Amino acid sequence: MNKTLQRNETREHLLATGEQLCLQRGFTGMGLSELLALAKVPKGSFYHYFPSKEAFGVALLERYFDHHLREIQQQLSVEDVSPRERLLQHFRYAETLFRQQGHIVGCLGVKLSAEVCDLSEPMRNALQQGASRTMAVYARALEQAQQQEEISRHYAAPQLAELLYLLWLGASLQSKISREAGSLTLALHAIEQLLTQQ
């Protein structure tokens, strides 16, 4: 096997394993020994792929947001559905998933947002960049909805995108704490009200 390909596959395997561990235990609770044992990668190999645990955390967040944004873009590009309805379906799907699973599913951004902001500036930057990219995707869909006169122009699209993101992040954190969907449901109702023509 090509060494570069093998190296990339091992790196990806470490990141995928690390994401699952972080979702269970958080970043600080994830030990490198446990990660390497679970990934079945020799202990001395970690630093061939990442200069530090912090660098691993940055790569973990960058990978997560790349995947997450592809998923959002797919949801917001469904044909034969209006831009407003695509946005609402996106948030409704997340709320329904929480109700079905009883917890925030696979959201590393929510899991690590409060944990690492004061511990690591590079990881905080990775979270901020991921949030900014997410808001930009929302803003494009909102601009389309405004152009089609589906929603009000009371807020500029970037401002409204940030408001939707903040509502959903806060509700996600509270639902994670309470282990109840009420906060997400409330946020969903607020988003439905925001995305009106008035």
Do 120 and 185 have their domain in common? yes
Say if residue 197's pLDDT is above 70. no
We report the CATH number of the domain holding residue 167 as: 1.10.357.10
Do 114 and 21 have their domain in common? no
Do 5 and 90 have their domain in common? no
Do 78 and 40 have their domain in common? no
pTM: 0.90
Looking at residue 171, its amino acid is A
- H helix runs in 121-181, sequence order: 121-147, 157-178
Do 66 and 32 have their domain in common? no
84: exposed, middle or buried (C-beta count within 10 Å: 0-12, 13-18, 19+)?
A: buried
Model confidence at 115, pLDDT cuts 50, 70, 90, reads confident
Model confidence at 72, pLDDT cuts 50, 70, 90, reads very high
Q: Which residue would you say has higher pLDDT here, 44 or 7?
A: 44
The per-residue pLDDT for range 125-183, each reduced to its tens digit, is 999 999 999 999 999 999 999 999 999 999 999 999 999 999 999 999 898 888 899 99
Picking from 184, 17, 171, 180, the residue whose alpha carbon sits closest to that of residue 103 is 180
| Residue numbers of the domain that contains 29 | 1-49
pLDDT of res. 44? 81
Do 28 and 107 have their domain in common? no
Do 72 and 170 have their domain in common? yes
Model confidence at 103, pLDDT cuts 50, 70, 90, reads low
What's the total number of domains in the chain?
2
Do 101 and 45 have their domain in common? no
